[in-house]
Structure 1
Amino acid sequence: MDDKTAKKVARIFLGGALIFAGVSHLTFARKAFRAQVPDSIPLKKEDTVLYSGVAEIALGSSLVLTNEKHQETVGKVAAAFFTAVFPGNIAQFANRRSAFGLDTDLKRFVRLFFQPVLVFWALKSTHKN
């Protein structure tokens, strides 16, 4: 598999994962996602979950459907989104909130290291060259 194809597969897979996550925000995993909303967010937790779900669906769709001209921009927006929601992962760890099978401090701590991977993935899979 050449580099261009690998990036396309990675980009589409990430987009699909975001779409799935967004749909789960709006449906079956809404309660679990509320556990990740930091208390410092000035919106109702339910609203934050719904808004972030819509944003994930939009970002995921953009990663899947955007043309080559705009892919790098979409990747940067996705990376910024992953960075912006990272405090939710920290809040889940700090407040010892169980969700998504993250029911121990160790599991919640290890989860923190996956967010930089998502940022890198969004940037690398959309970078031109």
Structure 2
Amino acid sequence: MHGAALNGDVPIKDRSFLFSQVSPFRPATMNTIFRGGDCCRFLGKGQGVSDSANEGYIDIVGISCVDDRGMSFEMFAKNGRRLGFVTNVGDLASTGKKPSSEDGLRVLRQYDNVAIRFEEPIMTLAEQGAVC
């Protein structure tokens, strides 16, 4: 994961996060496997922090993957919607991720594990063709 602060003077449009896949997954209706080890990247947009809930909110707005055959797939949010959101690993009730504090800013640490919960069907990843 690479990212920016969730609060402070950074405009929301500049609060971008990039997450890499660790666990392999196979979308239910697709005949392909996305193996772990950086085969998929997820683009997130920070939406701010709730001090009362001690959660930072990051929407997933883009997905780019390469399957085990070398085919690329992607999906991007449309009309200001999100594809899903970032949450704590193993916490099915949470809608955000517990942030850390650095120099007065709320951040996610680079090597924090997160879970991504999808709101849009991951099976709608569109095949883009073979990767060079």
Q: Do Structure 1 and Structure 2 share a fold, with TM-score over 0.5? A: no
Write 1 or 2 for the structure with the bigger share of helix.
Answer: 1
> Which category of TM-score, normalised to the shorter sequence, fits these structures?
under 0.3
Larger proportion of strand: 2
